[in-house]
Amino acid sequence: MEAIKYYSTNLKAPAVSFKKALLKGQAPDKGLYMPDCFPVLEKSTMDAFSKMRYPEVAFVVLHAFLKHEVPADILRLLVNDAYDYSVPLEHVCDRKYVMRLDQGPTASFKDFAARMMGRLMNHFLMKEKRDLLILTATSGDTGSAIANAFYGLDNIRVLILFPEKEVTVRQRKQMTTLGKNVEVIAVDGKFDDCQAMVKRAFADPDLATLNLSSANSINIGRLLPQAVYYFFAWSQLRKNTDEQAIFLVPSGNFGDMMGGMIAREMGLPVRQMGIAVNENDEFPVFLNTGEYQKIEPSKNCISSAMNVGHPSNLSRLVALYGGVMDEKGRIEKIPDMIAMRKDMVAFSITDAETRQCIADAWHAHRLLLEPHGAVGWAGLQKYLAMNEGMDKDQLFVVLETAHPAKFPEQIQEILKFDPDLPPSLQGLEDKEEKYGFLKHQYEDFKKHLTGMR
């Protein structure tokens, strides 16, 4: 078999290698890169996953995509380095489980994708003796995820701008106590000012030699690693190799759920994917009616990382079902809606339902959920209500995407206690912080960047 190529979902740019798609991020026609075919794993291969640790499963799944581009021994080192934390599968009742994707350095499922993308980028850059400067503006969480994902990599430097008065002390400390290749700057302005300076730097021809990159969430290098935990959960929980699982995924930009759809294309026995969104219900409406209308501006819900009125990965899902959706959300070719409705169901969960679900899960099962995972668990309750008489033996896995300790206000309000911090978030208070200051003036920022070499 030849190397897999990556085409643009807008179909107006040439297909490229994995390396090129990874280092470019977005295609020149503003589409997203998608593999032009999916490697299908042998049953015996998937069978063997049940005895493997997470990094070993990650190796097999990623090697299937990357075998022509990343040597096996190197890929092994990268997955071992990226996945040095546990992936708990918590039994709740019957054959219903919660997969906790919150044991990474920033206690968010985004660690799975960002850490692997960073290591793959570093590998290609090292080979070419090139450096990259990742430039990012953050209002809190993205910055720490990026900082931790790229921390300690030799050929990548990270520069993060944050609005001095708009991030919490804990969010700031998660970025400013790292050091090494991570530089952090406080800006006396708002998030939008930081974002505007970063955008201007990307477009500035004087800075072209700096090799700037944004490492943003639509990168194919973030998508593929998200297929791995679906294989892992299934392999740990299945009774036999033909058993089909149903996953419930709390979703915002749909990167997480696309990981599951990719796993399914690779042969994972998935009976259905359940997509749970908050009050931003553009996708459930689309799935039911075939009409797509983005929500502008998006609604503010307590599951704040899912306040998305137009999921950027939706064009990838549409492509998977033979359609074309451009970056603005216009449907140029309608996907096979009948097949899509067979493979997936979608639920919109209100904030009131989310709060109720956090309370119910705790009181009925001593299951501790934060607002995002609660949207997923509430989705499961709706699924069961819609499918009365469903076999008690059906395997369900709900994804919990962040650690409850990241949302102490909501947990305190609903359950009247403070969740314990996971080890990765402990001890921040005692660490030394280091960061610079800038006024929100582009010329100052540019001077700083040119002085960095």
Ligand X SMILES: *Cc1c(COP(=O)(O)O)cnc(C)c1O
Chain residues binding ligand X by CB under 6 A are 108, 110, 250-256, 305-306, 372, 401-402
CB of 447: closest distance to ligand X in angstroms?
34
Q: Which is nearer to ligand X, 114 or 121 (CB)?
A: 114
Q: Which is nearer to ligand X, 215 or 402 (CB)?
A: 402
- State the alpha helices, DSSP H only, in 100-219: 110-127, 141-150, 169-176, 191-203
Q: Which is nearer to ligand X, 369 or 395 (CB)?
A: 369
Rounded CA gap, 210 and 244, in Å?
Answer: 49
DSSP string for residues in 2-49: PPP-EEETTS-S--B-HHHHHHH-S-TTS--EEESS-PPPPHHHHHHG
CB of 227: closest distance to ligand X in angstroms?
13
Q: Which is nearer to ligand X, 124 or 283 (CB)?
A: 283
184 exposed, middle or buried (CB, 10 Å; 0-12, 13-18, 19+)? buried
Q: Which is nearer to ligand X, 201 or 218 (CB)?
A: 218
CB of 306: closest distance to ligand X in angstroms?
5
Q: Both tokens of residue 290? A: 């075939």
CB of 292: closest distance to ligand X in angstroms?
17
Name the DSSP letter for residue 239: S
Q: Which is nearer to ligand X, 80 or 253 (CB)?
A: 253
CB of 262: closest distance to ligand X in angstroms?
13
Rounded CA gap, 116 and 108, in Å?
Answer: 14
Q: 367: which residues sit within 8 A by CB, 6+ positions away?
A: 90, 92, 98, 361, 377
The end-to-end CA distance of the chain, in Å, is 42
Phi, psi of 427 (to 5 degrees): 80, 5
Rg (CA), the chain: 21
CB of 128: closest distance to ligand X in angstroms?
30
Q: Where are the beta strands (DSSP E) in 56-123?
A: 89-93, 96-100
Q: Which is nearer to ligand X, 133 or 268 (CB)?
A: 268
